Structure 1
């Protein structure tokens, strides 16, 4: 009996190794749980084509926006754990949405297989150029003088953009109405068009509009002032350090993915991120390369999940 069990284990291990060696044998889907045009989409497309070349099969980006990232994340969680159904995980899908929404249809800590954290990025509050304030002090003064007059756009209810702005409102004593969208791209378009006054967004998707003068940066969530925005203070500088949090963009798969496949994807992404062209493309957006291990990424997801649960509890935030 013991010999039979031993042989079964050997056969399973051999089959797993053979599968990993054959992987990938067909195109891989990389699901982005937001509409095109946002930072999540930018990061995914920066690595998809070169990763496909490294792995020997195309990596196809598939945008599934809606529900603040929940719809796409759920699709990844429910997919077959064979390495052909990957998704981009963000702070929104793994921490803020579960923190504020008890009905999220997945467990962010147990229903995914963390593969690698690709990059982290600062967040920025930016306003339409027609907004009457162009610096932080006058921005706060305008909001306090006219509570409820202005609205802000986000990439969806329960996203990092939503919860960070709500945290900002609570700590700064200001009030703006939340207007959720299906992704950062549509939200940005309406702020640029002055349909909505402002947003708190990941820097990569906002930066082109800032450089073109179509958005005015007010304050950033970053470890220190950014070289691309040297005159813009951090939240820590203005006395709001709890809002000074980065976003992340990593790759996950459904729970139960073979370790050999996870390691192969992890190694492939790391190789892609060593390419100076890819590295520059990501860093030019204001993001930082992370490229860590699956275990380290799992710990980051766990840590952010705990942080935003505490934020929601302390600030008494709800979906209403």
Structure 2
């Protein structure tokens, strides 16, 4: 069970212990921590949460229980967290869409990220890979852009739905390259990949784990990754910048939040446990297997990320006139 000494040790490891007066060591409840995942069980977010939760639990001295609350692009689970008691026993592994994208698209939201959630730690970011239909006959971003310019309005790109991170990534690519391509929304990335393989659509920007098996099998030509650096899993694949599409940096990131009003000492304990977990080699390897980059950093860094991403994607939403019907 969690003891005062264990709790203080976690805080000391995170550089947070000096914030508490001598003799006033923070206490953390000896109860399971609930980590809400706002997506279906078995998906990438669920895998990330279980890897992180297991490692955090061993440091907290109590289990971290994953609670799947899927629906509405992640908003159902985030709302459940925002409405939970702010006692440090509930957290949510939220992603880009429900934190920075959907709040700018929905006319009414059940929660206000800035008022109802408190940042804990940035966990992982997963970039997208630009893949094209084998029938298209292009093998580079330059060839794709040239083809699109010769045939304005003729080429199509798929996404996981209107307003999804893949939709915004596609719009960012369209805007930065100045091409005219048509958006085709699907109910998830899987059916979009199926139609891409069949040649129904021409291109797709999809998260790494979704398309990497098809790339390795030679079924889908990969043109570039929307990251600042090349992927270790695909070292020959250029970044968008290297391929000539400047400013096309996009990823789906995952981060841990708690309800606003959670006592700072309990946020600190959760942060310290998560930070220690993310520094563990086996945890980093397991998360990297999801095709992303492991992060970390203090809550303030996550808050800054939310502000920067809100501004970035808000600009894309306005420029592309994206709306949810």
Could you state the TM-score of these two structures normalised by the residue count of structure 2? 0.79
* Distance (whole Å) between structure 1 residues aligned to residue 199 and residue 67 of structure 2: 29
Displacement of 1:309 in angstroms is: 1.7
Q: Which residue of 2 aligns with 1:139?
A: 144
* Distance (whole Å) between structure 1 residues aligned to residue 95 and residue 174 of structure 2: 22
Matches for 1:261-280 after TM superposition, within 5 Å: 261-280=266-285
Report the secondary structure of 2:131's partner residue. Answer: strand
Matches for 1:1-320 after TM superposition, within 5 Å: 21-26=27-32, 28-36=33-41, 38-127=43-132, 129=134, 132-141=137-146, 143=148, 145=151, 147-148=153-154, 150-154=156-160, 156-172=161-177, 173-181=179-187, 184=189, 198-320=203-325
Displacement of 1:65 in angstroms is: 3.1
CA separation of 1:146 and 1:302: change in aligned 2, threshold 3 A: closer
Aligned length: 302
CA separation of 1:75 and 1:273: change in aligned 2, threshold 3 A: same
Could you state the TM-score of these two structures normalised by the residue count of structure 1? 0.80
Unaligned runs of 5+ in 1: 1-12
Displacement of 1:315 in angstroms is: 3.3
Report the secondary structure of 2:305's partner residue. Answer: helix
The superposition leaves residues 141-172 of structure 1 with CA deviations (integer Å, 9 ceiling, x where unpaired) of 55553735645132x43232221212223343
Displacement of 1:57 in angstroms is: 2.5
Report the secondary structure of 2:224's partner residue. Answer: strand
Q: Which residue of 2 aligns with 1:8?
A: none
Displacement of 1:93 in angstroms is: 1.8
Q: Do 1:192 and 1:214's aligned partners in 2 also have CA atoms closer than 8 Å?
A: yes
The CA RMSD over aligned residues, in Å, is 3.0
CA separation of 1:119 and 1:132: change in aligned 2, threshold 3 A: same
Q: Which residue of 2 aligns with 1:6?
A: none
Displacement of 1:237 in angstroms is: 3.0
* Distance (whole Å) between structure 1 residues aligned to residue 63 and residue 199 of structure 2: 39
* Distance (whole Å) between structure 1 residues aligned to residue 55 and residue 266 of structure 2: 18
Unaligned runs of 5+ in 2: 1-19
